Amino acid sequence: MSFFDLFDGLNKEPKAPKGTVLTYSDGAANLYFITTTLIEYAPMTPERSSSGFYSGGEPATVAITTEEFEQIYQTFKQAQANKEDHSKNRMKGCGYVSGDLFLLKREFFPSFSLVRNSTSQNALEEILKRLLKNNCRS
């Protein structure tokens, strides 16, 4: 393996699955891609991390129900409405929300950053981690 092979893999971001309507990046840049039927967790890898060592764990994809998607959607909407939890700049530890709900719900969903350890950040991470854990079929 050459130096260029190593360098080529450093900045490759995971690709969102088809049908992704919401994306969340937590404070460690682990990615959660949400469709109406699944959550895909794409953890940070040592190859992509700034330290060269951090790993967010194992990737996972779990099926979710319509009711679970609606719970996630409502949590994202609450985070969007809680402007006091938003950060003007994304700093280390902040969460980042983006979405493409126009085709699904006929509404625009602007991207925004969440202050580290804010109520909104904690609520989003709690529901996503809980659903990943509860729905995981190992």
Domain ranges of the chain: 18-135
Mean pLDDT score of the chain? 83
pTM: 0.82
Relative orientation angle of helices 119-135 and 66-81, to the nearest 10 degrees: 170
pLDDT at 42: 93
Q: How far apart are the C-alpha atoms of 69 and 132, rounded to whole Å? A: 12
CATH number of this structure's domain 18-135: 3.30.1560
Q: Which residue has the higher pLDDT, 57 or 135?
A: 57
Q: Encode pLDDT of 18-75 as tens digits.
A: 777 888 999 898 999 999 999 999 999 998 888 889 999 999 999 999 999 999 989 9
